[in-house]
Amino acid sequence: MSWLKVDLDEGRAAFRPGEVVRGTASWSLDAPPASVEVRLIWFTQGKGDRDVGLVETMPCPAPGAEGRQAFAFPLPDGPYSFSGTLVSLLWAVEVVALPGSDAALAELVASPSGREILLPREMPDAGAR
Amino acid sequence: MRARDNPFAVHRIHALRFRLTDEGWRELLARLSTLGCRAAIVGPEGSGKTLLLEELGARLGTLGLAPCLLTLRRGERRPAPEARAALLAGLGPADVVLVDGADELGPLAWSSLRRAARKAGGLVVTSHRPGLLPTLWTCGTSVELLADLVRELVGSEEAEALRPRLAALFDRHRGDLRAALRALYDLYGASPATAGPLPGA
């Protein structure tokens, strides 16, 4: 049975901008893929179509059917992890076996507080004093 | 409710599969072959035409064919020149051109595209109305289908609680399941909890 997974070091899943996300991607596939990529991404979920930002890619050329790859991605200044009623923005490290669609990811939070920013359901009236 | 927790978020809707059994797929693929691989998926707004076209493309891919998708937006009377050129460049017998929203095209653009696609091994389109090509599949909707999709998204217990609302939603959106599911997103989004049943359900 094929599998891929991403483990973040020490199980840590909350980071501040500028911190380095470290961990290990590992896989066991039925056959050696052409390549494996480990990616730092952000993406949206919600009512609208999904937006994706590819921040950094670490290629693993000529990988075997089984393997592991350590990674270290410095987090950029933004965007921060947040959730509102209409859209959430999430960060993740994903590992993808190419060609094909086999992939796995580990979600993480990126924000100055280390917590997902929750938007108020209704924005305060800009004109209110 | 956070958008990421909303069971009707788009990524969850996109994960739904077209309701067709293995036997149904065999029949559909046999019919497509009978029609010379030139056919239309027909149905009203929000009835799953795009989903069926995408899944058909994936199945054709597993059969060694190369699906080439062109998606037309509402009111797009002709495809963008770059998109058209990229789609039609080097077409061969192993290629199957898939056009989502072919009835958006003007008569000249449709005629031109259909002619250019003759080099491909197949041409399958979606359309709200029959007539562009022989009909491969007619997509329809029902309250039962909406209930089935909702059950997959929220689970049996919560779906049962929603059941009395679904017929009204279905009627309000004239059978457009995409619109009905978006309305359910809004209803869940109004819930203050991060997860939980629909308020008033």
**What pLDDT is attached to residue A122?**
61
CA dihedral of residues B135, B137, B139, B145 (deg, nearest 10): 160
- For residue A16, pLDDT beyond 80: yes
**What pLDDT is attached to residue A82?**
97
Q: Where does the pLDDT of residue B193 fall: very low under 50, low under 70, confident under 90, or very high at 90 and above?
A: low
Give the number of A-B residue pairs with CB atoms closer than 8 Å: 41
Whole-number percent of chain B with pLDDT over 90: 89
Chain A residues within 8 A of B189 when measuring between CB atoms: 47, 85-86
Of B116, B101, B127, which Cα lies nearest the Cα of B41? B127
- The mean pLDDT value of chain A amounts to 92
Tens of pLDDT, residues A103-118: 999 999 999 999 999 9
User: Testing the interface with B: which of A85, A88, A105 to mutate, by most B Cβ within 10 A?
Assistant: A85
Task: Give the ipTM of the model, two decimals please.
Answer: 0.83
Nearest CA in chain A to B181: A47
CB contact under 8 Å between A88 and B4, yes or no, is: yes
Read off the pLDDT of each residue in A37-41 and give the average, rounded to a whole number.
97
A50, A85, A87 member nearest B1 (Cβ)? A85
pTM, entire model? 0.84
| Partners of residue A118 on adjacent β-strands | A83
Chain B residues within 8 A of A86 when measuring between CB atoms: 3, 189
